[in-house]
Structure 1
């Protein structure tokens, strides 16, 4: 994470919203076979736990229970050109939003895994605007659900350390921040520009 304290945030509600909005991240773990990472959908339970699941054949699955792992959530990011500043002697940089969550992992039971899958479906089906009625786990034949549940393992990570970086040009003046936001917007990065305007005041 970037060492500049200007890019930190103690706004827990904002960080929780980032997990829910992005809803995808990476789980990192040092294993006897070397460092490993898995890319997973994430569910924030609102009570200090980040939930996820892995295929049983994933290299991390057998090592996670009881371990201390790191979950990383990446928000919008983008290159910042010196051409966008008022001062032509500036250098390029990168603005980004990222959150590291460190904690202890435990395996969850099948009932909790079903709730996790239902939550993922409900959250993301609500965002789908085409293709008919929202999918639910109940619409899948029971034998297929049983086969799927046998092939995956659910986990929860109890967050013990939050390490956010919201690098949104907070170390620049208001005029330069707006120039950068406009530059990003013109490059098609409206999400990062919007965060700069709302969070880097």
Structure 2
């Protein structure tokens, strides 16, 4: 990903927030047998680890297809994104753009044993079920526990310590405040490119920038 100093997301905490809020990731491997391979899975942060460490699982045989544990993988996490029309700027000539926040994370996966894998699966289910009015746990009853144990054998748990990353938060930081406010208003509106999540991300970015200028 081509980097631009105006849009660099350089902090571990900024990347961690992106993962927490947008945990659906793309895992990309360059394999000996099949060349480039990509799969999509939910990820969690290991909140007790130093640095950025991802926890996830893959369904068999993705572990073999990706040759997991044998080489580095690229994990892509994507946040809000959307089209920005030059008509939202001013009367001057301009080109359209695309605002987005994304991170490219690199690390070599560690394959977990069966007990660790089950703990990661339970953590993933709990993470998403916690928001439900009546959460369904993997091992809430004996029947659930037996089912969970059976299903878990078809998966492989992963711990991915991130050794390096490139992250970008492109939210019109190169535009004056009045233009940014117009873009946010359009994104919050009812037009064909409205995107409240992108508007919220832009607002968060520019509130921090404006606070730093005071």
Q: Which residue of 1 aligns with 2:45?
A: 44
- 1:166-190 CA distance string (max 9 Å, x none): 0000111111111111111224311
- Does residue 125 in structure 1 map to residue 129 in structure 2? yes
Q: Which residue of 2 aligns with 1:8?
A: 8
Offset of residue 49 of structure 1: 1.4
Distance 1:159 1:114 in 2: 22
CA RMSD of superposed structures (Å): 1.7
Scaled by the length of structure 1, the TM-score of the pair is 0.91
Offset of residue 26 of structure 1: 0.4
Distance 1:79 1:6 in 2: 19
| 8 A contact 2:37–2:65 mirrored in 1 | no
Distance 2:151 2:4 in 1: 44
Q: Which residue of 1 aligns with 2:21?
A: 21
Q: Which residue of 1 aligns with 2:181?
A: 178
| 8 A contact 1:85–1:180 mirrored in 2 | yes
Distance 1:135 1:141 in 2: 9
Secondary structure of the 1:3 match is coil
Q: Which residue of 2 aligns with 1:155?
A: 158
Secondary structure of the 2:139 match is helix
Secondary structure of the 2:108 match is strand
Structure with the higher fraction of residues in strand conformation: 1
> What is the aligned length?
198
Q: Which residue of 1 aligns with 2:105?
A: 101
Distance 1:184 1:2 in 2: 25
Q: Which runs of 5+ in 2 are unaligned?
A: 210-214
Q: Which runs of 5+ in 1 are unaligned?
A: none
